[in-house]
Amino acid sequence: MSTITQITNNTLSENFLAISGENIIWSPFNSDPYSTDFFLYNITTGITTQITSDTPSSAQRYISGNKIVLNGFDSSARFAVFLYDIPTATTTQISTSWGLQPSISGDKVVWEGYISDGGYEIVLYDIPTATTTQITSNPIEVFRPLISGDKVVWTTEFNSNGFNELFLYDISTATTTQITNTYQWFNFNPAVSENHAVWESYDGYDTEIVLYDFSTGTISNITNNATYDSGAAISGNNVVWVGSDGYDSEIFHYNILTGTTTQITNNTINDYSPVISGNNLVWLGYANGDDAEIYFTTLLPSTTPSTNTAPTVTPVTQTLTDTAVTDTFTAFTGILFATDPEGQTLTYNIAGSSAGTQPNTVIKTGTYGILTLDTNTGAYTYNPNNTAINALIGNAADIFTISATDSESASSTADFTINLVGANDRPTATGESVTTNANTPVIVNLADNLADIDLNGLTGATLTVTGTSNGTTSINQNDQLVTFTPTTGFSGTASFTYTVTDAGGLTSNEATVLIDTGINQIPNAVGGNAAIWGNKIVWDNGDDIYLYDISTETTTNISNNGSGIIDRIPSISENNIVWQQIVGSSDGEIIRYDITTGTTTQITNNSTNEFSPKISGNKVVWSGYINQNYGPVIFLHDITTGTTTNINNDLLSDYNPAISGNNVVWESIGVGDDDDIFHYNILTGTTTQISDNPWDDYQPSISGNYAVWVSNDTSDRVIGEAIDGEIFLHNFTTGTTTKITNNTTGDFNPSISGNNVVWAGSSDGSNSVIFHYNILTGTTTQIINSTTSSISNPAISGNNLVWEAYDGYNSKIHFITLPTTTNSAPTLTSITQTLTDTAFTDTFAALTGNLAATDPEGQTLTYNIAGSSAGTQPNTVIKTGTYGILTLDTNTGAYTYNPNNTAINALIGNAADIFTISATDSESASSTADFTINLVGANDRPTAIGESVTTNANTPVIVNLADNLADIDLNGLTGATLTVTGTSNGTTSINQNDRLVTFTPTTGFSGNASFTYTVTDAGGLTSSAATVSILVEQAIAGNIINGTAARDRLNGTIGADIISGFDGNDNIAAQEGNDIVYGGNGGDIIDGEEGNDTLYGGAGNDRIEGSDDNDILFGEAGNDTLYGDTGNDTLIGGAGSDQLTGGNGSDIFVLVNGAGTDTIRDFRLAQGDKIGLAGGLTFNDLSFSGSQIRFGAEILATLTGINTPTLTATNFVLV
């Protein structure tokens, strides 16, 4: 035992002693029942600190880590349970009613809780979740619960037998066990640590200290004496208590591992209330006889023959729950709970950690937060990563590995788990402000205005416009764009509100987008006759010409000629401006101004009046007089050459010319009784009248291939109705004229630029409006609407529009930029059709239909197939696919798909014929889609056909059925099987590899024989039965011809002879008929000649020739030479090294092991030759090298000119 240290020395009476690790707490006795003071002593530093004052009074206190639990009176004067946090110096009431005898371990607290029926039950409180659980429920009173780790013990009131019992509750399993069963009379004041519990037990004489082992379930006495032992406390394997040495009370220690008891104190004062943590032991003692002081000692680690046991550290599990809003999560704090069997001092760590910012701390950053751990005390703090947790949409966990290590480096680990309950967070939306011109849509990109903290962010989110003012909206969900289109003619502040809903169905706050719309008025611009080119506007104020640059917002007086000079009716093109100038009362002249150089040039200088000039590029036109006796004509001036030409000396009155490129138009008076429009082509010098009707046509404007004008058309007017102007459009390319307005309110001052036509008019007769017509789409839109000003003379260049508005006092110049009309590609719908093959040979009908396509601008569409060629009919294209031909009408989109029956029937699995089709609008914008024919393939049934063959009686015939079989499927007859289903007058055998059936007539039969057969493909489908008819002819009787033992020359007859040469070197010619020849011994020469002969060489080196038909040649013993010649012959060399030549036909060369090495001189794969294997040989028995076929070490044959490793099993047949 170490030295005993007196911690306190004062006149106060210390009380309510508790210890955890190196921290000791107590309170001096206080007569005030409602408040007391707390003191903390650190064993390492030796420093005592008063950590509280006036905290609730307590009859019981416990400490665990940096948390203290105590009893005290609450505001309702109830004895309640409070939790005190040392780092924050905060006290929290954790019981909601009466609570007694609290105890704490780690993040769990237990106490006696008052229940409504007047009794007390044991209550368990979880600090992180602030949840309370009642763990007992019975009619017997329970007392003094103690907790350590996941175990709780308590005692009960006396039962009917006059005894009380001890119970154990396991938090991890939520099970309760009765430890004692009248072990002795009374059992009380239990304490628990790890695997043991201790308590005081009365045996009828005095009290003893009893030990319970949870693992074995055994109870044993630690003390057994005649004195009272009480106040037991336990930590790991250390048990301490108060006992008597016969004079006063002393402190005793029992080591569970060694079973030894030691008296800690031995003095003349009373020592009591010992508490222990690890090897640190404190107690109270009456130092001066009248007040209690605190004493401390450190127990020496026990010496025991057993090895050091690692400490036990309890896992930590906490839960953080995300909600639909962006949460801020509070840090988790607590103390690791660990015990050491030997009571050694522990240090703590986190696997993979690094040094913390505070002394004796380590930190580890997890996926969802940072864990900080005090390595001395085990105090921890988990700081959640708010962003990472809010981003969760599902559950997850942050798992750390914590460890406790004793002073002998024995260590144990446990999981520190933060369970994370993810939730879909609500997205957010913010507003903004944008600007646009009147009548000009604006695209608002809301992508940067939206946010969703979840991991999947805004994937699958949907925008919703919840309200608009002074306009309409359309949404592009893919790009999170909203297009706002102001109400026609509106200027001011418009708005729309919107929300965004994420893929999980949560909707954001509502946000507002403000849109400032307006019509641009050129500052101080008063006048009329405005004209525009690009971003430059010109007009006159009745005296001078003004130029306004839209991009720089600057105005310049470019004529400024002073009084007496009038400059009016300007026109602009590129960097040139022209106008009419009148000096005094003289006639008008045409003036040109170069914007680049700032110089002015007078184009005309004569005594006649020139007026209404228009300019396009380097050409100027105007109306003027040749002399004053006739009406005006049209003049053309080339700025580059300086030449002026009268382009229509027609004696008519020609006014208001307009020019675009090489085209000039004007109105002419004097053709009948009305005005008409004429066209002049500068390149060809030709003039054409393009309007010829009984109405007045005037105010022409031209751009490219189009001209517009006003016409007083009365063709559809009701009698008595006022004449008003309508707008007509002429297409120079097609020569057609279209009426694009039809109303009763009057339309005038048309202007054209590209595909845009504008004019002034009224929608209801009470307002003044500018209309816009889109030539491509054929749609008319009202773009300016005024009820306070009279609008006239609109002019357009590109998308810039200028006009003058008279407010009753002045005409002012206004302009706007029209929205850029981006041509959108058409939308083309994919085509998908299906053709299904069956088990039969099908004929598939053509598929017809029309492509479905739409164009946002309503333009005419043309259709095509990628990679196609011109069709046989006008306006068609064709494309041949794998399984059919697609024909498409390029104008209408009508299609026909003609299936390829053979290709589809050949399918045994699914396939598809895919073409790429396209639709293209008049501006060449195109879109594509797939034209897909899905093909459901099927195994088709094979077919078999019969045939007729002839043979002689008693003579087998080989019928080759290969050409009689068919299967349309891609894999054809691969793996197919022949089956003979019936025979007459004979028997059959089948060679499946070569599709051969050998028919052997019944012995002696002649006449008509037959067999029927089917073929079954690899897919299991069987053909219809087919019949092979065999005419068996009566054999021509042959002779039996025998030679002698000498050398013979034998000739057969035309019949089926049996010839035997016997001994000697014989020369045998079998002649016609299916002969059998036996050469016998000797070097014989045998020629089978005509017929299906069977020839045996016998012993000796023979020469055997089959000649015509299908012969079987046996060389037998000796080194023989065999020639099959014509026909499908079988050559068997026999014993010896033989030379085999098959000749024409599909021959079989038979090999057998142990018969010598044969040379096959003409093995021809193209003719269908095979290697026959006899004597049990199989293909797998063979090996191949160069031109040799081997069986083990034996060379069976050499194949001249053949690389035998290229041969496969299909080149062999078993015979």
Same domain assignment for residues 1095 and 1192: yes
CA distance 423 to 384: 16
pLDDT given for residue 819 in this prediction: 63
Give the pairing type, strands 1130-1132 and 1148-1151.
parallel
Cβ neighbors of 62 (< 8 A, separation 6 or more) are 18, 68, 69, 70, 102, 103, 104
**Is the pLDDT reported for residue 162 higher than 80?**
no
CA angle (699, 705, 708) in 5-degree steps? 20
Domain-located, residue 788: yes
How long, in residues, is the chain? 1215
Q: Is the pLDDT of residue 516 over 80?
A: no
How would residue 286 be classed by pLDDT, with cut points 50, 70 and 90? confident
**How does DSSP assign 472-535, residue by residue?**
EEEEETTTTEEEEEEPTT--EEEEEEEEEE-TTS-B---EEEEEEEE-EEEEEEE-EEEEEETT
User: Which residues span the domain enclosing 457?
Assistant: 428-518
User: Where is average pLDDT lowest: 85-89, 126-130, 325-329, 769-773?
Assistant: 85-89
Is residue 385 assigned to a domain?
Answer: yes
Q: Are residues 1092 and 1027 in the same domain?
A: no
8-state DSSP, 1136? S
Residue 720 confidence (pLDDT): 41
Q: Indicate whether 846 pLDDT > 90.
A: yes
Instruction: Tell whether 435 and 363 lie within a shared domain.
Output: no
Average pLDDT over residues 963-987: 89
Across residues 274-300, what is the average pLDDT? Answer: 85
- pLDDT of residue 990 exceeding 60, the answer is yes
On whether residue 845 sits in a domain, the answer given is: yes
pLDDT value at residue 190: 92
Whole-angstrom Cα distance, residue 1108 to residue 1038?
18
What is the token pair recorded at 557? 């007086």
The whole-number pLDDT of residue 672 equals: 62
Rg, Å, the chain Cα set: 57
The H or E element containing residue 1114 is strand 1112-1114
**Judgement on whether residues 1029 and 1067 belong to the same structural domain of the protein:** no
User: Which of 478-482, 513-517, 735-739, 1209-1213 is predicted with the least confidence, judged by mean pLDDT?
Assistant: 513-517
- Predicted confidence (pLDDT) at residue 54 exceeds the cutoff of 60: no
Residues 357 and 483 in one domain: no
860: domain CATH number is 2.60.40
Residue at which a domain ends, from 880, 903, 931:
931
One domain for residues 1056 and 1190 = yes
331-345, 595-609, 637-651: segment of lowest average pLDDT: 331-345
d(CA 241, CA 190): 12
pLDDT at 163 over 50: yes
| Residue 392, Cβ density class (10 Å: 0-12 exposed, 13-18 middle, ≥19 buried) | buried
Q: Structure pTM?
A: 0.39
1048 found inside a domain: yes
Tens of pLDDT, residue by residue over 189-223, are 899 988 899 999 887 778 889 999 988 888 999 99
pLDDT at 378: 92
pLDDT(879) > 90: yes
User: Which segments of 810-934 does DSSP mark as H helices, in order?
Assistant: 901-905
* 779 lies in some domain: yes
| d(C-alpha 1152, C-alpha 1174), whole Å | 5
Region 139-145: what's the mean pLDDT? Answer: 81
7 domain-assigned: no
Which region among 406-415, 710-719, 914-923 has the lowest average model confidence (pLDDT)?
A: 710-719
Please identify, among 421, 452, 475, the residue that sits at the C-terminal boundary of a domain.
421
Same structural domain for residues 1009 and 980? yes
Higher pLDDT pick, 946 / 628: 946
- Cβ atoms of 169 and 176 within 8 Å: the answer is yes
Q: Which two tokens stand for residue 658?
A: 């307009």
In this predicted structure, the answer to whether residue 305 has a pLDDT above a threshold of 50 is no
Q: Which residues pair with 445 in a beta bridge?
A: 481
Q: What is the pLDDT of residue 289?
A: 60
Choice between 335 and 782, residue whose per-residue pLDDT is larger: 335
Q: Most confidently modeled of 1058-1062, 1152-1156, 1201-1205, 1211-1215?
A: 1201-1205
Same domain flag for 984 and 1068: no
Higher pLDDT, 397 or 71: 397
- Give residue 687's pLDDT: 92
Residues 879 and 908 in one domain: yes
Going through 32-163 in order, the beta strands assigned E by DSSP cover 36-42, 48-55, 61-64, 67-73, 79-85, 90-93, 99-105, 108-114, 120-126, 131-134, 142-148, 151-156
What integer best gives the mean pLDDT of the chain? 87
Start-end of H helices in 401-488: none
What pLDDT does residue 340 have? 82
What whole-number percentage of the chain has pLDDT above 90? 49
The count of domains in the chain is 6
Residue whose pair of structure tokens reads 């379930």 in the numeric block: 217
Does 8 have pLDDT greater than 60? yes
pLDDT for the residue numbered 136: 87
44 or 847: which leads in pLDDT? 847
Do 799 and 906 belong together in one domain?
Answer: no
| Confidence class for position 838, pLDDT limits 50, 70, 90 | confident
Categorize the per-residue pLDDT at 160 as very low, low, confident or very high, splitting at 50, 70 and 90: low
Q: Which two tokens stand for residue 1155?
A: 């018969």
User: What local confidence, expressed as pLDDT, does residue 567 receive?
Assistant: 92
Three-state secondary structure call for residue 337: coil
- Residue 655 predicted with pLDDT over 60: yes
Look at residue 530 and tell me if it is in a domain: no
More confidently predicted of 939 and 622? 622
Structure tokens at 312: 């036990």
Instruction: Summarize pLDDT for 234-263 with one digit per residue, the tens.
Output: 998 899 999 987 778 899 999 998 899 999
Q: Mind listing the pLDDT tens digit for each residue in 443-458? A: 999 998 998 888 777 8
Q: Is the pLDDT of residue 569 over 90?
A: yes
Reply yes or no on whether the pLDDT at 97 is more than 90.
Answer: no
Spatial distance between the Cα atoms of 104 and 92, rounded to a whole number of angstroms: 14
The DSSP element (H or E) to which 389 belongs, if any, is helix 386-390
386 by DSSP, 3-state: which? Answer: helix
The CATH number that applies at residue 1113 is 2.150.10.10
What's the gap between Cα 429 and its chain centre? 25
Q: Is residue 504 part of a domain?
A: yes
* Per-residue pLDDT at 107 exceeds 50: yes
d(CA 368, CA 323) in angstroms, rounded, equals 16
The CATH number assigned to the domain holding 437 equals: 2.60.40.10
| Nearest in space to 791 (alpha carbons), one of 1113, 1076, 519, 393 | 519
Query: Which is it for the CA torsion 733, 735, 740, 741, positive or negative?
Result: positive
For residues 1036 and 1046, the model is more confident at 1046
Of 880, 911, 931, which residue constitutes the final position of a domain? 931
Within this chain, do residues 1006 and 1086 fall inside the same structural domain, yes or no? no
Task: Using CB atoms within 10 Å of the CB of residue 11, give its burial: 0 to 12 exposed, 13 to 18 middle, 19+ buried.
Answer: exposed
Q: What is the pLDDT of residue 778?
A: 85
| Mean pLDDT calculated for residue range 1097-1118 | 92
The total of other beta-carbon atoms located within 10 Å of residue 598's CB is 9
- Same-domain status, 1068 and 1173: yes
Q: Is the pLDDT of residue 753 over 70?
A: yes
**What's the CA gap between 1038 and 693, in Å, rounded?**
114
The full 3-state SS of 1137-1155, as one line of letters, equals CCEEECCCCCCEEEECCCC
